Amino acid sequence: MLNNLNLAEAQAGLAKGDFTSQELTEAHIAAIESARDLNIFVTETPERALADAKASDKRRVTGEVGALDGLPIAIKDLFCTKGIKSTASSHMLESFVPPYESTVTAKMLDAGMVMLGKTNLDEFAMGSSNETSFFGPVINPWKRNSDNKPLVPGGSSGGSAAAVSARLCLAATGTDTGGSIRQPAAFCGIVGMKPTYGRCSRWGIVAFASSLDQAGPLTRTVRDAAIILQTMVGFDPKDTTSADVPVPDFQAMLGQDVKGMRIGIPNEYRIEGTDPEILALWEQGIAWLEDAGAEAIEVTLPRTKYALPAYYIIAPAEASSNLARYDGMRFGLRVDGDTLDEVYENTRGEGFGDEVRRRILMGTYVLSAGYYDAYYIKAQKVRKLIADEFSLAFETVDAILTPSVPSAAFGQGEKSDDLLGMYLNDVMTVPASLAGLPSISVPAGLSSDGLPLGLQLITKAFDEETLFRVADILEQSARFTAQPGRRA
């Protein structure tokens, strides 16, 4: 089946004329239809995809094709797509149809992407299990050996991760604020990559926490991540935090070696409660890189444990500010009331789900008079210390290796009543987010219960080249070929 090819293979097949983009796209549309019970897509766009595919096939005849020409890809429903509903999986934006295209998706369309549709996510990207979506949870295509319970795909890019894992698309876009690409990638046995803050324009992506949000790819291979990322990045004058820096050729870093490279191992990631199998996999990962000629060096990041509480002040604070725009006046839901204030309150009371409401209230609290210094400024100071610790570590090492998540995917509803337990999912991904560093989760093994586990690599800012170079070796060593039970 054509939907079982990875993106690089599909690209080669199209170039050789083995099949057309229309055939490739039809295979993916059929795959999506066969997996509707997993609730992966908020909006399917098959007609649009077929039109894109036919246009691509025409371009190929003339030889003028882009880097993603004819390749069927899914887009997280947090990216605004012109003329196509963009909901952030929220009741608030349930019928919002943007009259503009996000910079990242515009670049991918320019490169010839075939857009299959918009994937489900945690509401406004706030969550680690995709269970906060207004449109219901996404089901992970993987199951435990020991039972038949539906598992979460992770979040917030849970639909994108599940879509790539179940072979419903060749690749998908995600966004990562505290782990929202890397954690679902680990839970679904795929590659998830968060670039340096500023690499991808945030313009046209529904904002959650603006100093942390970054777009990135979810794919089945490291090479595919490099191919997709190449088209997503680049300076954009419409985003003031977009970095005006040269973009390297990411694929050029693949197939090299890691001889003599120094890989940092931070002891502070041996976090209490981490699954022992994951700690063992981490040891295995260290051994793989040493076998490939790298040197493993202990580094210390002493304030790692404070990253998560700092994040749960900073991200809600920024969210409470960003989400103030949903007032029922210019776009989105409006719920009537007797006074203007009542309209605001009714609209926001009905439009936001429980987790979003909780985070807005938390953010409002830490920003309110009397608490601002004690919580918000304190968290920003801790953030500075964490960023400085990474800078210091990168004076002696080229990359840092850690697990991606402290556990394998858990069951639907298993952590719904455990707020802080749910937040702990991001304990290993949040530090790099606070520091704005590029990082990647690579599938590296299976748990004894048959679930995928990931390892995370982190490098210094704007050094995606080293990240891809090491990730490539990690992928080759791990030889992760397992596939989920549910795939199309």
Partner 1 sequence: MSVDKSTVVRIAQLARIRISEDDLGALAEELSKIVGWVEQLDEVDTEGVTPMASTTEGTSLRQRDDVVSDGDCRDEVLSNAPETKNGYFVVPKVIE
Q: How far apart are CB 299 and partner 1 at their closest, in Å?
A: 19
3-state secondary structure string, 339-375?
A: CHHHHHHHHHHHHCCHHHHHHHHHHHHHHCCCCHHHH
Give whole-number Cα distances, 200 to 82, 292, 358, in Å: 19, 31, 29
The alpha carbon of 68 is separated from its chain's Cα centroid by a whole number of angstroms, namely: 19
Q: How far apart are CB 59 and partner 1 at their closest, in Å?
A: 28
Identify whether 180 is a catalytic site residue.
Answer: yes
Residue (57 or 318) nearer to partner 1, CB: 318
The one catalytic residue in 56, 128, 156, 404 is 156
Q: How far apart are CB 421 and partner 1 at their closest, in Å?
A: 11
The one catalytic residue in 76, 118, 194, 460 is 76
Residue (23 or 94) nearer to partner 1, CB: 94
- Are 211 and 246 in contact by the 8 Å Cβ rule? The answer is no
Residue (141 or 198) nearer to partner 1, CB: 198
Residue (53 or 315) nearer to partner 1, CB: 315
Q: How far apart are CB 452 and partner 1 at their closest, in Å?
A: 29
The CA distance from 371 to 486, in Å, is 48
> What residue type is assigned to position 298 of the chain?
E
Residue (23 or 327) nearer to partner 1, CB: 327
The one catalytic residue in 180, 320, 433, 441 is 180
CA atoms within 13 A on the CB side of 151: 26
Residue (290 or 350) nearer to partner 1, CB: 350
The CA distance from 403 to 387, in Å, is 19
Binding residues for partner 1, per CB under 8 A? Answer: 96-100, 197-198, 211, 237, 240-241, 243-244, 303, 306, 309-310, 312-313, 320, 324, 327-334, 336-337, 339-346, 348-350, 352, 357-358, 360-362, 364-365, 368, 375, 377-385, 387, 419-420, 435-436, 461
Q: How far apart are CB 330 and partner 1 at their closest, in Å?
A: 6
Tell me the angle at which helices 464-478 and 222-232 cross, rounded to the nearest 10 degrees: 160
The CA distance from 213 to 233, in Å, is 14
Integer Rg of the chain from CA: 21
Q: How far apart are CB 420 and partner 1 at their closest, in Å?
A: 6
Residue (19 or 365) nearer to partner 1, CB: 365
The CA distance from 196 to 198, in Å, is 6
Residue (27 or 386) nearer to partner 1, CB: 386
Give the helix, strand, coil percentages of the chain, each rounded to 5: 45, 15, 45
168: its two tokens: 């419903």
- Are 259 and 252 in contact by the 8 Å Cβ rule? The answer is no
The alpha carbon of 360 is separated from its chain's Cα centroid by a whole number of angstroms, namely: 22
The SS3 assignment for 113 reads coil
Give whole-number Cα distances, 333 to 13, 82, 346, 358, 457, in Å: 45, 19, 10, 19, 41
Q: How far apart are CB 372 and partner 1 at their closest, in Å?
A: 11
Q: How far apart are CB 77 and partner 1 at their closest, in Å?
A: 16
Is residue 159 packed enough to be buried (19+ CB in 10 Å), middle (13-18) or exposed (0-12)?
buried
Identify whether 320 is a catalytic site residue.
Answer: no
The CA distance from 148 to 146, in Å, is 7
Catalytic residues: 76, 156, 180
